Amino acid sequence: MWQLLDQQIESRLFIGTALYPSPDIMCRSIKAAHSDVVTVSLRRQNPAAADGQDFWQLIRSLEVKVLPNTAGCQSVKEAVTTAQMARELFDTKWIKLEVIGDEYNLQPDPFGLLEATKELINQGFDVFPYCTDDLVLCEKLVEAGCQVLMPWGAPIGTGKGLMNPYALKTIRERFKHIVMVVDAGIGAPSHATEAMQMGYDAVLLNTAVAQSSDPVTMAGAFKLAVEAGRLGFEAGVMPERDLAQPSTPTLGKPFWHQN
């Protein structure tokens, strides 16, 4: 178990609810991932609508913590309004904040994100900002009151993994006291392991599971990858070396004479 703001969380794998072939496969995938936290887009599914009620009941049946998001919002006003609606409908002050600045690669708008973050924190939200791996932006978000940061590994849905490991390592090292979640761009279980070995607290993904040929099996693979990466971090991954070093030293090595 680990502490995520005011909640005790078991899994370090957060998973999305979009793009699955069917609601049944979505539920089975979330269960296979053993995720405690799932993200839900208010713009995609309105719990107040008829179809939204069915979707919301499915999520409730999973007994998970819901992290509503403002996916698709392109302005501060739109993101803040969506967050307010999400708090009322989902009965949570958690919000994954997205303010998209570029349609080409869905890159977050750093200026709008910071402005919306300040506004929502003033309104009592726990903001989980989806941001780039920019150190200065992360610093400003922390100064604004964020206790969680969600830097991308790569643009949403690309599956490219960790494009800039150096930047992600720097952010993790700089903000040791902040919960850090790699969000977006994760395409393979090995990407998740790499992020966890850096010391990130969790990873959030959706497309890599939902659009695989077997989402349920892939969800299980990511579960194991996240666990392996975290254990590797806690145990201490050996440093890389430029030269080979024998695992069995020659000094004191036993030898036998043949008669």
Annotated binding site for 1-deoxy-D-xylulose 5-phosphate: 157, 184-185, 206-207
Annotation marks residue 118 as catalytic: no
Residue 258: what residue type? Q
CA atoms within 13 A on the CB side of 169: 8
SS3 239: coil
Q: What is the 3-state secondary structure (H, E, C) of 122-177?
A: HCCCEEEEEECCCHHHHHHHHHCCCCEEEECCCCCCCCCCCCCHHHHHHHHHHCCC
Among the listed residues 31, 93, 96, 140, the single catalytic one is 96
- Residue ranges of the annotated binding site are 157, 184-185, 206-207
List, in sequence order, every beta strand (DSSP E) within 36-144.
37-41, 65-69, 94-97, 126-131
Within the chain, what is the greatest distance between any pair of CA atoms? 88
Q: Which residues are catalytic?
A: 96
